[in-house]
Amino acid sequence: MYEITVQADFAAAHAIVIGGAREPVHGHNWHVEVTLSGSTLDADGLLCDFHTAEETLGQIVRRFHNRNLNDVAPFDTVNPSAEHVARHIAEAMRERLGAGLAAVAAISRVSVSEAPGCVATYHPRRP
């Protein structure tokens, strides 16, 4: 099995609902890691081009940078927990990288840290 991991950072605020109570709006410096995995490489010896994966991740998180996540879809209707952010990024990466990637690689995990030592990880099911 091969894996590659790309990373991105963004600064954003959020206020999540915990036990029915909404916490105050507060900010984080978010760190995201996306890992793609697959058992075979393409004709060039790549699982996925790092630049393509980095650019795709950058496009996804750019929408969140310096924003309040509660104001940005889908988090205007979904509790913007780190777990939900990780799942959203995984689904957006899979959609944007396209079906052509699925034959060679898949998103195996997305980890989101909103503070040092606090990491939420989402493992999507393979299609």
pTM above threshold 0.75? yes
Residue 36's pLDDT is what? Answer: 96
Percent of the chain residues past pLDDT 70, beyond the cut: 96
User: Does residue 127 fall inside a structural domain?
Assistant: no
User: Does residue 93 fall inside a structural domain?
Assistant: yes
31-53 pLDDT, tens digit per residue, is 999 999 999 988 888 888 999 99
User: Does residue 13 fall inside a structural domain?
Assistant: yes
User: Does residue 14 fall inside a structural domain?
Assistant: yes
Q: What is the enclosing helix (H) or strand (E) of 88? A: helix 82-97
Residue 127's pLDDT is what? Answer: 56
Residue 10 CB contacts under 8 Å (≥ 6 apart), including other chains: 29, 30, 32, 61, 62, 64, 65, 66
pLDDT averaged per 10 residues, the chain (length 127):
96 97 97 96 88 95 98 98 98 88 86 96 85
Short-list 104, 106, 85, CA closest to 95: 106
For residues 58 and 65, give the distance between their C-alpha atoms in angstroms, rounded to a whole number. Answer: 10
CATH of residue 51's domain is 3.30.479.10
Q: At what angle do helices 82-97 and 50-62 cross, to 10 degrees?
A: 130
Residue 54's pLDDT is what? Answer: 95
User: Does residue 110 fall inside a structural domain?
Assistant: yes
Q: What is the domain extent for residue 95?
A: 2-122
Which two structure tokens, joined as six digits, stand for 108? 């195996």
Q: How many domains does the chain have?
A: 1
